[in-house]
Amino acid sequence: MKHKAVLRVSSKLLMPPIMLFALYVQFHGDFGPGGGFQAGVIFASAFILYALLFGVNQARRVAPAGVIRTTLALGVLLYAGTGVVGLLLGGNYLNYSVLAHDQVHGQHLGILIIEFGVGMTVASAMITIFFIFAGRGRDERGE
Amino acid sequence: MISAHLPALQVVVPLLAAPVCLLLRNRHAAWLLAALVTWATFIIALGLLAQVADRGTISYAIGDWAPPWGIEYRVDLFGALVLVIVSGIGSLVMPFARINVEREIPAERIYLFYVMYLLCLTGLLGIAITGDAFNLFVFLEISSLSSYVLISLGHDRRALTAALRYLIMGTLGATFYVIGIGLLYMVTGTLNMADLAQRVPDLLHLRTVEAALAFLIVGISLKLALFPLHLWLPNAYAFAPTTVTIFLAATATKVSVYVIIRIIYTVYGGAPIFREGILNEALMGLGMLSMVAAGLVAIYQSNVKRLLAYSSVSQIGYMVLGLSFGSVIGLAAGIVHLFNHAIMKAALFMALGCATQQVRAVSFDDLAGLGRQMPVTMGALVVGALSLIGLPLTVGFVTKWYLIQAALQDGAWLAVIVILASGLFAVVYTWRIVEAAYFRPLPEDREEVREAPLGMLIPLVILAGACVVFGIGATWPMDLALAAAESLIGARP
């Protein structure tokens, strides 16, 4: 990939906007189309683009398996944990109304946190799946 | 305060534990957490059962969104009984798993095994507790996807193809289920089962509602391995790690039977669809075919695990036959067999697991002479086998007794003959195991085999003991099953 300067430069230019767009889809999800699932996939696509152009090994250095696995678990914990916080504050499980001083605020906050958890887990899962498939057979060939 | 939130905690506790297990990355810590959480879910399930017995059906609105708009968790007697079965079997499997998993699964993957196990437990408990038809689909997928992974962890390479085959069949089943739910939603505009139960019985003449029923029944029949949709089951059970086989054989198909009963008796109101259509003839016929065909095939198996897997298909026939009569006693026999078969099949697979822990393989030759070398394990295996046959003083007898009563009440003579014949098949195939263990001489080259470790023997003895205790004083599960069947049928005359 050393000689493909156009690809290298343009992909490097593209990656930040892709991630930013993912965050927009993530946090604008309660006003427009979007949410954690879509945002997670878009965010992961930035990593996949990087891995396609610079190789899986290089990409694995950027996003080590241990880190990705941690965010994978943390996303689920964030989701389920928010539900438990609602439960501890006196509502039923996953009741966001009790999370803030007034009900509308609480619902906004709750759905934002939960969708962020979804986004984290989906992005990590997509990256992991890509790395596993792309990395298959590499170790045997000694690349 | 906490007792009001038990329905949510029943599912949330194992769900939260799964990612924590992933973060722990240590197999001993993962086991400890998984075991503690499983025991906690068992206590919660018992608490829920006590609450339901005390105050009647519990409804819990997730996020305080009132049903039918929000997702409702709904626990009635039947649901609570299934929750107790699933979490109870899980609690007994956990001590067994600590030793067995060390031997069968590579050390660096063991913590991942417990993550998947906890997710599977979450899914199975969720199916039994949710009152929302679509939420049920979500839990069905959680439990299915995790069980595909669990099966593929088997050390035999054939475990991979078995898991892939189960994945394809299971995905088909889940797709059929969701198509059925989609059709119902199209007609009624609701996904809440209690709300559906209000609307669907008046719409039974609609073709869409009929088609939905067909999709739902076929989809769930795939998951519960009703003949002739059982093809994924024997290999999946035979090549999965032993712990997984015990857990899935005792819980996964039972939960599917729970779903089919929910669909027929709660959502579709039971009796009317039985009077008009061919559903009960179809289910009765397939149930009997399962009992006979799988029983016959079991006789010719050379792998003991596969033999027991085919026997599971045959036993599923009993449950489906029971629910197809449409009478309280038939349904109660089906429900009590959920419980009975869970404990006897868990005891059998666990005894086999103890044997393979010590002698490695599972052919009849490996079992030769083990009756003398592992008396406790083989004794438990015999108790399980007697239950499978349905001898008096075991749980199997209780089921057969009520099943035959239901068949006589219905005038279904063929069913009576099939029940007795399938008992005879069970005699033949379990005798082969007993014969190998007790009447064959020890092979010359066999090294000294010792009894399995205590951590595996204690749950085994508890299960085998339960087969006898509930066989002699069978009042508690049977009373529960009768009450559950009455409330399922009585809700809608």
Return d(Cα B272, Cα A82) in angstroms, integer: 44
Q: Is residue B300 part of a domain?
A: yes
Q: What angle do CA B72, B10, B470 make, to 5 degrees?
A: 110
Task: Provide the β-strand partners of residue B303.
Answer: B363
Contacts 24+ apart (CB under 8 A), A56-63: A56/A131, A56/A134, A56/A135, A56/A138, A57/A138, A57/A143, A59/A131, A60/A131, A60/A135, A63/A127
Give the contacts of A13 (CB within 8 A, at least 6 positions apart).
none
Give the contacts of A30 (CB within 8 A, at least 6 positions apart).
A108, A111, A112, A115
Look at residue A137 in the predicted model and tell me its pLDDT.
65
Q: Using CB atoms, which residue from A72, A94, A97 is nearest to B62?
A: A94
Find residues 59-78 of chain A whose CB sits inside 8 Å of chain B: 69-70, 72-74, 76-77
> How many Cβ pairs closer than 8 A exist between chain A and B?
50
Phi, psi of A91 (to 5 degrees): -95, -175
Q: Is the dihedral of CA B15, B16, B22, B28 positive or negative?
A: negative
Return d(Cα B422, Cα B293) in angstroms, integer: 9
Q: Is residue B218 part of a domain?
A: no
Return d(Cα B205, Cα B202) in angstroms, integer: 8
Q: Six-digit token pair at B411?
A: 């005038």
Q: Is residue B88 part of a domain?
A: no
pLDDT band at B145 (very low <50, low <70, confident <90, very high): very high
Q: Domain range holding B392?
A: 278-493
Look at residue A134 in the predicted model and tell me its pLDDT.
86
Peptide bond into B68 cis (omega under 30): yes
Interface test with B, best of A67, A93, A107 (most B CBs within 10 A): A93
- CA-nearest of B375, B357, B365 to B464 is B375
**Chain A CB contacts of B8 below 8 Å:** 83, 87, 92-93
pLDDT band at B487 (very low <50, low <70, confident <90, very high): confident
Using the structure block, give the residue that is written with the tokens 């006590």.
B50
Q: Six-digit token pair at B53?
A: 């017995």
Average pLDDT for residues A70-98, to the nearest whole number? Answer: 88
Average pLDDT for residues B50-76, to the nearest whole number? Answer: 88
Contact present, B400 and B423 (Cβ < 8 Å): yes
Find residues 6-65 of chain B whose CB sits inside 8 Å of chain A: 8-9, 12, 15-16, 18-20, 22-23, 60-64
Return d(Cα A32, Cα A115) in angstroms, integer: 14
Look at residue B202 in the predicted model and tell me its pLDDT.
85
Domain boundaries along the sequence of chain A: 5-135
Give the contacts of A140 (CB within 8 A, at least 6 positions apart).
none
Q: What angle do CA B305, B306, B311 make, to 5 degrees?
A: 100
Look at residue B129 in the predicted model and tell me its pLDDT.
93
Look at residue A142 in the predicted model and tell me its pLDDT.
42
Q: Using CB atoms, which residue from A70, A77, A87 is nearest to B8?
A: A87
Residue of B nearest to A79 (CA): B16
Contact present, B230 and B291 (Cβ < 8 Å): no
Residue of A nearest to B17 (CA): A77
How many percent of chain B have pLDDT more than 70? Answer: 97
Return d(Cα B367, Cα B359) in angstroms, integer: 8
Q: Using CB atoms, which residue from B15, B19, B61 is nearest to A92?
A: B61
Q: Is residue B310 part of a domain?
A: yes
Peptide bond into B228 cis (omega under 30): yes
Contacts 24+ apart (CB under 8 A), B281-285: B283/B217, B283/B320, B283/B321, B283/B323, B283/B324, B284/B320, B284/B321, B284/B324, B284/B325, B284/B412, B284/B415
Give the contacts of B306 (CB within 8 A, at least 6 positions apart).
B234, B235, B237, B238
The pLDDT tens digits for B268-302 are 887 777 766 678 888 888 999 999 999 899 988 88
**Chain A CB contacts of B64 below 8 Å:** 91-92, 95, 97
Q: Six-digit token pair at B119?
A: 């997710």
Q: Using CB atoms, which residue from A70, A80, A95 is nearest to B64?
A: A95
* pTM of the entire predicted model: 0.92
- CA-nearest of A69, A100, A66 to A82 is A100
Q: Using CB atoms, which residue from B15, B23, B60 is nearest to A80?
A: B15
- CA-nearest of B80, B189, B85 to B133 is B189
- CA-nearest of B318, B343, B308, B327 to B238 is B308
Give the contacts of A104 (CB within 8 A, at least 6 positions apart).
none
**Chain B CB contacts of A97 below 8 Å:** 64
Return d(Cα B248, Cα B223) in angstroms, integer: 12
Average pLDDT for residues A40-57, to the nearest whole number? Answer: 90
Provide the number of structural domains found in chain B: 1
Q: Six-digit token pair at B188?
A: 């009624």
The pLDDT tens digits for B74-101 are 998 899 999 999 999 999 999 998 888 8
Q: Is residue B83 part of a domain?
A: no
pLDDT band at A140 (very low <50, low <70, confident <90, very high): very low
Task: Provide the β-strand partners of residue B12.
Answer: none
Q: Is the dihedral of CA B295, B296, B300, B306 positive or negative?
A: negative
**Chain B CB contacts of A74 below 8 Å:** 19, 23
pLDDT exceeds 80 at position B475: no
B370/A contact by beta carbon, under 8 A = no
Average pLDDT for residues B181-193, to the nearest whole number? Answer: 92
pLDDT band at B220 (very low <50, low <70, confident <90, very high): very high
The residue length of chain B stands at 493
Which of A32-46, B217-231, B285-299, B478-492 comes out lowest in average pLDDT? B478-492
Average pLDDT for residues B25-42, to the nearest whole number? Answer: 91
Q: What is the DSSP letter of B303?
A: B
Contact present, B99 and B453 (Cβ < 8 Å): yes
Return d(Cα B18, Cα B114) in angstroms, integer: 8
- Which residue type, as a one-letter code, is found at position B351? A
- Which residue type, as a one-letter code, is found at position A112? L
Cα Dmax for chain A: 61
Average pLDDT for residues B201-220, to the nearest whole number? Answer: 89
Separation of CA B263 from chain center: 17
Q: Which of the pair, B357 or A126, is modelled with greater confidence?
A: A126
Average pLDDT for residues B370-376, to the nearest whole number? Answer: 81
Q: Is residue B247 part of a domain?
A: no
Look at residue A93 in the predicted model and tell me its pLDDT.
85
